[in-house]
Amino acid sequence: MAPKGLFFTENHEWIKLEGDTATVGVTDHAQESLGEITFVELPIEGKELSAGDEAAVVESSKAASDVYSPAGGTVTEVNNALEDNPETINESCYEDGWIWKMTVKDKSEVEGLIDEQAYNKYVEGLE
Partner 1 sequence: MTEKQYTGQFHYEVTEAEPRPSLLYQRHLRLTKRSRMANFAGYIMPLWYSTPSKEHQAVRRAAGIFDCTHMAVLEVAGPGSTEFLHAVTSNDIKKLIDGKAQYSFVFDAAGNILDDIIVYRRGDEQYMLVVNAANESKIKAYFNALQNRRVVIDTETPEKQLEHQPRIRDMKDTFAGKDCRVDIAVQGPTTNAILCRLSDDLQIREKINSLTAFRFFETELDGINCIISRTGYSGSSTGVEVFVHPEKAVKLWDALMEAGKNFGLEPCGLASRDSLRIEAGLPLYGHELNGKHDISPFEAGYGWAVKLRKRFFIGKNQIKKRKNYKMQIVRLQTVSGKGTRPVRADDAVLNSKGECIGWITSAAAVDSDGFAQAYIDKKYAEEKKHLGIYYLARSKRQVEQGKKTSADLGDKLESETHGTIVSRSAKF
Residue among 20 and 64 whose Cβ is closer to partner 1: 64
CB 18 to partner 1: min, Å: 26
CB 50 to partner 1: min, Å: 13
In sequence order, what E strands does the chain have? 7-8, 13-18, 21-26, 37-41, 48-49, 54-60, 64-68, 73-78, 100-104
CB 35 to partner 1: min, Å: 6
Whether the Cβ atoms of residue 86 and residue 40 lie closer than 8 Å to each other: yes
CA distance 57 to 50: 16
CB 112 to partner 1: min, Å: 24
Instruction: Give me the residues that bind partner 1 (CB under 8 A), please.
Output: 29, 32-33, 35-36, 38-39, 41, 54-55, 57, 59-62, 64, 66, 83-87, 126-127
Residue among 20 and 39 whose Cβ is closer to partner 1: 39
β-pair partners for 103: 21, 74
